[in-house]
Amino acid sequence: MTLSRRKFLGWMGGASLAAVGARKAQAASNRTFEGYAGSLAVLHDITRCIGCRRCEAACNQVNDLPKPEKSFDDLTVLETHRRTSAPAYTVVNQFSIEGATGPRTFVKKQCNHCLEPACASACFVKAFTKTPEGPVVYNASLCVGCRYCMIACPFEIPAYEYDKALDPKVTKCTMCYPRIMEGKLPGCVEACPTEALVFGRRDELIQAARERMRVHPGRYQEHIYGEHEMGGTSWLYLSGQPFEKVGLREDLGTAPAGQLTSGALGAVPMVVGLWPVLLTGIWAINKRKEKIAAQEQAEAVAAARAETEAQAAASLKAALEKAAKENAATVAREVKKALDTAKSAAQDKHDTEKKS
């Protein structure tokens, strides 16, 4: 593949424009996004969770996911800490906290649907989008499979379909976005028997969480997890135990992901600008290879067909010639046989007449 000077300069111009765009994005990201007005969220009251795994079963059914090796009625899986995976958008983990009174603690884990998602901030093709309704959704048709979202997510949520070599996707909880748009509850919320999961407007859920802390002093930590973490999330938590002891990070701070990544992106504008170009080039090369391969295959098929037809024609010609020779020989034999018969009959008649 040759690279002309004009094409190279065109690429450099595109990279410069991308660099300017990166600097503008950096300048624009130095703020805190308060979220879309009236956006929806889920409040997970950890003190009410009984570890029944009905939320897992509902998520599996609603999203038409593969059935797990162990049924959702098997609670022995809670003894092992799990993370979300390609076939499991949500998991429930069990925590036995030293010195804690009361039963064991169960925590549901899924995408937290950040107000300014790290996955969307890291994705240069905008495969992830924060919707005005609250959920962070994924567009597989835009994804290039770089998996930067998996690295960027501080909650270690996005998973990848490694077992699907031809069409792998990044998977995660969608907060049942299609159901929400139909006016339905998320599957896990609808299935929860203890109201450990509550769905509603984010601002109203925050007020409800504060009311619970007021009505039940000493029952909860004096903090709503997700109200400000990483700029805020659309999945909120109340807990009776320190959040770090139930698998939730308390070292994230309140800065949204955009502020944390914009500086790094602005520091390497040329790389940021050239990356889409390089991907486009790779795509074009692959497409050209596919086109050449298809053309070569078509030519090979045509050549094989022509050779087969030629061989068939030659075989037919040989068969016809052989048949013609055999027919000629048969005719000659029959003629000779007829002549010999006639000659013999004539001789017999001659002999008979001579005797008489």
Q: What is the DSSP string of 110-142?
A: ----BSS-HHHHH-TT--EEE-TTS-EEE-TTT
Query: Is the overall model pTM greater than 0.75, yes or no?
Result: no
Q: Nearest-5° angle of CA 154, CA 159, CA 160? A: 140
92: three-class secondary structure by DSSP: strand
Quick check: 176 and 62 in contact, CB under 8 A?
A: yes
Phi and psi, residue 251, nearest 5°: -110, 15
Residue 188 near residue 202 (C-beta atoms within 8 A): no
Sort residue 354 into left (φ over 0), alpha (ψ -120 to 50) or beta.
alpha
Nearest residue to 201 (alpha-carbon basis) of 132, 254, 146, 149: 132
pLDDT at 281: 65
**pLDDT tens, per residue, the chain with 356 residues:** 444 444 434 444 444 443 444 444 443 444 556 678 899 999 999 999 999 999 999 999 999 999 999 999 999 999 899 999 999 999 999 998 876 666 789 999 999 999 999 999 999 999 999 999 999 999 999 999 999 999 999 999 999 999 998 899 999 999 999 999 999 999 999 999 999 999 999 999 999 999 999 999 999 999 999 999 999 999 999 999 999 999 999 999 999 877 776 555 444 444 545 555 556 666 667 667 777 877 888 888 888 888 888 888 888 888 888 888 887 888 878 878 878 887 887 777 777 777 76
* CA separation for the pair 87, 65 (Å, rounded): 6
Q: Residue 182 to residues 147, 177, 185, 203, 355: CA-CA distances in angstroms?
A: 30, 9, 9, 21, 122
Q: Are 110 and 93 in contact (CB under 8 A)?
A: no
Residue in this structure with the two tokens 């950040």, named with its chain if needed = 114
Cβ 150 vs Cβ 162: under 8 Å: no
Q: Whole-angstrom Cα distance, residue 305 to residue 297?
A: 12
**Residues 133/181, Cβ–Cβ less than 8 Å:** yes
In this structure, are strands 136-138 and 159-160 parallel, antiparallel, or unpaired? unpaired
Phi then psi dihedrals of residue 90, to 5 deg: -145, 150
Query: Taking the alpha carbons of 313, 317, 323, 324 in that order, is the dihedral positive or negative?
Result: positive
Q: Which one, of 172, 130, 140, lies nearest residue 33 by Cα?
A: 130
